[in-house]
């Protein structure tokens, strides 16, 4: 079907006096909407009214009003038609039917429509048929007014009688046939806002006469009664819009737009809870809380007993070192005395300070002074490889078992790397303390691992590495089984790591047991240790 230079593509809608088509402008290729008169309505009166609409809409240029591009007459029938801007989207009537409108969206759309009407009213043009079917929501969510089919110049409207428009959205002055102005459009817009916010119209009935009677006399139910989440200020806005006397309404659309924007800034009111449901939920929480308290009272003795028998921590060991061996030759200097002392028996010159003290201790200064002295290698069986040289020898403990001190023992190298400098590190073998040192002295080794050697008997041993806090309370402990044999490295590597992630701080303990080590099994008896046991007292 062809209409002038426009190719008709499909029918969009059909009203009482016109039909709207989607068409393409063959001259410039633009998609447009064409509005034509219905068949049989092409008499002179309708043609004049139709052309009046063209002249009115052609004067309006607003982003919220559908634009008029062209006007013409059908050559075959002589019927006039309007060529308007084609909007892709849906009408507000279609959106309301889905029930997917939010109050905040209603405020924003209402403010935009009120400003568009204010623009038309300033030019002496009223719409006369504001309703959801004449409001379009485009793909970008913009709201636009279309179909100024009944709109006329304000000076002409008082000279024409008859009831025009959709009855449910008419203003009282339209029903009574008295002169109207822009405030009549604001009354109709108030009905649209009421429907958007509550889901129903304020005036509803099965006949035109009954609807008109409600508009003229019925009392309006406040919208907050139907939707409790709406702010109370919205009731006042709609009361002004739907006032039966035009003098009691907003004087123009700008005032209504400002009022709606103020309501949009108010927070939504939470929906009131049902008392019966609230009471039942409160009662349920009360019983649950009582049951939880009773359970905690019953479990408290069990928890105390479990802590007493299973989580009791051993006391922190004190770092003790043997006194230096007296020189056999009183004429030897102190350096000669240190050089002649057997390896593994070098002792600190002063007692170690408590773990919580920081700074450079006398023992650490003595240990650094010993680094410059050549150190003899410990005597080991010919079948055993030589242990790694000690980069930072440490004092040896005097409290070692007889089997560890015997010449037939196997040397076990203890290598310690640490970033933390607070606390004490201790090593136990078969529940006997074989070595301990403050972490401050280990951290002073200039980035090199701290190494020392202790001698244990050949065969299996239960090893334990414990990290104590500055107040001598246990921070962390790791246990394992080790098999010490000739010909293996027998290296006990200990890494004390200190981490800081955001606001969380922590100290970790990583232990690599000597070659041939194995975790103890739970089924080894009552004295067996838990496999890969780790006790933490963070």
Angle between helices 182-198 and 253-264 (to 10 degrees): 20
User: In this structure, are residues 175 and 215 in contact, taking their beta carbons and an 8 Å threshold?
Assistant: yes
Q: Which residues pair with 462 in a beta bridge?
A: 481
Closest CA to 468 of 321, 354, 350: 354
Burial class (CB in 10 A: 0-12, 13-18, 19+), 297: exposed
User: Which 3 state secondary structure label does DSSP give 298?
Assistant: helix
Distance CA 75, CA 437 (A): 108
Closest CA to 225 of 187, 180, 191, 269: 269
Q: Does the active-site annotation cover 129?
A: yes
Report residue 230 as tokens: 């709406």
Report residue 124 as tokens: 């002496």
Alpha-carbon dihedral of residues 227, 231, 237, 242, nearest 10 degrees?
20
| DSSP string for 157-216 | HTT--S--S-GGG--HHHHHT----HHHHHHHHHHHHHHHHHSS-SS--SSHHHHHHHHH
Q: Which residues pair with 505 in a beta bridge?
A: 500
Largest CA distance in the chain: 140
Distance CA 50, CA 175 (A): 23
**DSSP, res 272:** P
> What DSSP element (H or E) covers 120?
helix 103-122
User: Which 3 state secondary structure label does DSSP give 321?
Assistant: coil
Interior angle at CA 93, CA 88 and CA 99, nearest 5: 105
Closest CA to 436 of 414, 411, 420, 456: 414
Residue 286, phi then psi, degrees to nearest 5: -65, -45
Number of residues assigned to the chain? 538
Distance CA 78, CA 39 (A): 11
User: Which 3 state secondary structure label does DSSP give 312?
Assistant: coil
| DSSP string for 64-105 | TBPPEEEEEE-TTT--EEEEEE---EEEHHHHHHHT---HHH
Report residue 332 as tokens: 């030897």
Distance CA 536, CA 538 (A): 6
Q: Out of 43, 70, 74, 129, pick the active-site residue.
A: 129
Residue 296, phi then psi, degrees to nearest 5: -65, -40
Please give the radius of gyration of the chain, using alpha carbons only, rounded to the nearest integer: 47
State the residue for tokens 């004490």. 424
Which residues are tagged catalytic?
129
């Amino acid at each position: 079907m062809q209409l002038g230079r426009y190719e008709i593509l499909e029918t969009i809608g059909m009203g009482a006096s016109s039909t709207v088509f989607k068409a393409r402008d063959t001259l410039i290729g633009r998609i447009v909407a064409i509005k034509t008169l219905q068949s049989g309505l092409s008499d002179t009166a309708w043609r004049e009214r139709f052309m009046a609409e063209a002249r009115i809409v052609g004067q309006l240029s607003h982003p919220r009003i559908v634009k008029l591009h062209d006007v013409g007459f059908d050559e075959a029938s002589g019927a006039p038609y309007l060529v308007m801007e084609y909007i892709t989207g849906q009408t507000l009537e279609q959106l309301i039917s889905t029930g997917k409108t939010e109050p905040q969206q209603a405020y924003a759309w209402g403010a935009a429509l009120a400003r568009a009407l204010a623009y038309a009213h300033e030019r002496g043009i009223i719409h006369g048929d504001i309703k959801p079917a004449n409001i379009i929501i485009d793909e970008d969510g913009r709201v636009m007014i279309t179909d100024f089919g009944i709109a006329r110049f304000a000076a002409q409207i008082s000279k024409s009688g008859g009831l025009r428009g959709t009855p449910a959205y008419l203003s009282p002055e339209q029903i009574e046939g008295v002169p109207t102005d822009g405030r009549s459009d604001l009354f109709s817009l108030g009905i649209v806002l009421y429907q958007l916010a509550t889901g129903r119209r304020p005036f509803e009935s099965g006949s035109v006469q009954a609807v008109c009677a409600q508009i003229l006399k019925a009392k309006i139910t406040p919208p907050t009664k139907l939707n409790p989440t709406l702010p109370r200020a919205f009731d006042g806005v709609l009361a002004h819009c739907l006032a039966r006397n035009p003098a009691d309404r907003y004087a123009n659309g700008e005032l209504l737009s400002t009022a709606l924007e103020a309501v949009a800034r108010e927070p939504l009111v939470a929906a009131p809870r049902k008392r019966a449901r609230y009471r039942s939920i409160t009662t349920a929480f009360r019983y649950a809380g009582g049951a939880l308290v009773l359970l905690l009272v019953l479990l408290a003795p069990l928890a105390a007993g479990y802590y007493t028998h299973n989580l009791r921590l051993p006391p922190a060991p004190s770092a003790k070192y043997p006194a230096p061996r007296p020189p056999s030759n009183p004429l030897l200097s102190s350096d000669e005395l240190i050089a002649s002392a057997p390896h593994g028996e070098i002792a600190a010159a002063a007692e170690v300070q408590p773990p919580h003290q920081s700074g450079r201790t006398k023992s650490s200064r003595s240990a650094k002074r010993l680094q410059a002295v050549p150190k003899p290698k410990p005597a080991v069986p010919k079948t055993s490889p030589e242990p790694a040289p000690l980069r930072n020898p440490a004092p040896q403990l005097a409290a070692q078992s007889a089997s560890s001190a015997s010449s037939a023992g196997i040397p076990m190298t203890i290598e310690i790397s640490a970033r933390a400098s607070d606390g004490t590190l201790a090593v136990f073998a078969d529940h006997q303390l074989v070595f301990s040192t403050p972490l401050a002295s280990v951290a002073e080794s200039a980035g090199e691992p701290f190494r020392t050697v202790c001698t244990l008997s050949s065969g299996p041993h239960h090893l334990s590495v414990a990290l104590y806090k500055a107040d001598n309370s246990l921070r962390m402990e790791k246990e394992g089984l080790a098999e010490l044999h000739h010909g293996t490295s027998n290296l006990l590597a200990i890494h004390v790591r200190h981490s800081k992630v955001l606001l969380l701080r922590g100290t970790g303990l990583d232990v690599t047991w000597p070659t041939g080590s194995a975790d103890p099994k739970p089924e080894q008896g009552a004295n067996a240790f838990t496999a890969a046991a780790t006790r933490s007292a963070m």
